[in-house]
């Protein structure tokens, strides 16, 4: 029905050598992004060698109460991740203007398992981060079309 295996090398050629800025190199998002860029044939380099700069302009994460039970106590929490990013060519006119992604996950709160909560939130953030990397890649690829 028209579906074909996704082709390779679809990132903009202006991003052949890309530096990531705005977050620490050790940040998990930076690592995941670098890995995905490499898998798409991009060399992730230091800024002074780069053709393009992928800048993370914003990264907010937090938690809010999503629902309260009939007992007036929290029953679900939502964790969210908001990422803003942009790409600018270094020495070229290439540009992807700032875009913002917001991802959310929710989980049932267990008042008798509070210590498990931080681990639960950690894995949910990890999964949002992986999704965010995929969505960023989709937007970068669309710039090459």
Partner 1 sequence: DYLPPAPEISHADDGRLRFEADRAFLDRDGISRLEGNVEVFEGTRIFTADRFEYEHARNYLEAMGNVTFDDKAGLSFESSAGHLYLDSEEGRFKEVEYFFRPRHARGKASAIEPRGPDRFRLSDASYTTCDPGRQDWQLTASRVDLNQDSGRGTARNVLLRFHRVPLLYTPWINFPIDDRRQTGLLLPSIGNADSTGLDVEIPYYFNLAPNRDAILAPRYLGRRGIMLGSQYRHMSGSSVGRFDLEYLQDDEVYGDDRSWFTWDQEWRPTSRLRLHTRGTDVSDADYLSDFGSSLDDTSTTHLERRADLSYQASNWNLLARVEDYQTVDDNIVGPDRPYKRLPQLLYRGDWPRATHGIDLGMRAEWVSFDRRDSVTGQRTDIMPEASLPLQGAAWFLTPRVRYRLTHYDLEGQPSGADSQLQRDVPIASVDGGLFFDRPLQGDRFQTLEPRVFYRYTPYRDQDDIPRFDTSEYGFSFDQLFRDESFSGPDRVANANQLTTALTSRVVDASSGTERFRVSLGQIQYFDDQRVRLRPEDTPRTQDSSSIVAEAAWRPDRYWNVRGTTQWDPHREQTERRTAQLQYRQDGNRVANLGYRFQEDRLEQTDLSFAWPLSKRWDAVGRWAYSLEDHRDLEILAGLEYNSCCWGARVVARRYLTDGVQGEYNEGIYFQLILKGLGSLGTGLGELLSEGILGYEDDY
The rounded distance, in Å, linking the Cα atoms of 36 and 38 is 5
We find the least distance from the C-beta atom of residue 69 to partner 1, in angstroms, to be 5
62 contacts partner 1 (rule: CB under 8 A): no
The closest alpha carbon to 52, from 85, 84, 26, belongs to 85
115 contacts partner 1 (rule: CB under 8 A): yes
Q: Which is nearer to partner 1, 35 or 92 (CB)?
A: 35
Applying CB under 8 A, which part among 15-23, 49-57, 82-90, 106-114 lies near partner 1?
Answer: 106-114
The rounded distance, in Å, linking the Cα atoms of 54 and 22 is 8
How far is residue 55 from each of residues 64, 113, 115, measured CA to CA in Å? 27, 38, 35
The answer to whether 100 and 128 have CB atoms below 8 angstroms apart is: no
We find the least distance from the C-beta atom of residue 145 to partner 1, in angstroms, to be 5
Per-residue string for binding with partner 1, 22-61, x by CB under 8 A?
---xx----x---xx--xx---------------------
The closest alpha carbon to 37, from 19, 57, 62, belongs to 19
- The residues binding partner 1 (CB under 8 A) are 1-10, 25-26, 31, 35-36, 39-40, 64-76, 99, 105-117, 119-120, 123-124, 127, 135, 138-143, 145
């Amino acid at each position: 029905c028209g579906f074909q295996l996704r082709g390779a090398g679809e990132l903009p050629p202006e991003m052949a050598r890309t530096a990531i800025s705005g977050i620490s190199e050790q940040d998990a998002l930076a690592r995941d992004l670098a890995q995905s860029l490499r898998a798409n044939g991009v060399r992730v380099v230091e800024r002074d060698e780069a053709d393009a700069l992928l800048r993370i302009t914003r990264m907010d994460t937090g938690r809010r109460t999503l629902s309260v039970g009939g007992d007036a106590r929290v029953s679900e929490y939502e964790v969210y991740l908001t990422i803003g990013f942009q790409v600018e060519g270094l020495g070229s006119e290439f540009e992807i203007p700032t875009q913002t992604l917001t991802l959310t996950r929710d989980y049932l709160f267990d008042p008798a398992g509070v210590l498990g909560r931080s681990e639960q939130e950690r894995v949910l953030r990890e999964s949002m981060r992986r999704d965010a990397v995929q969505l960023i890649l989709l937007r970068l690829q669309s710039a090459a079309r």
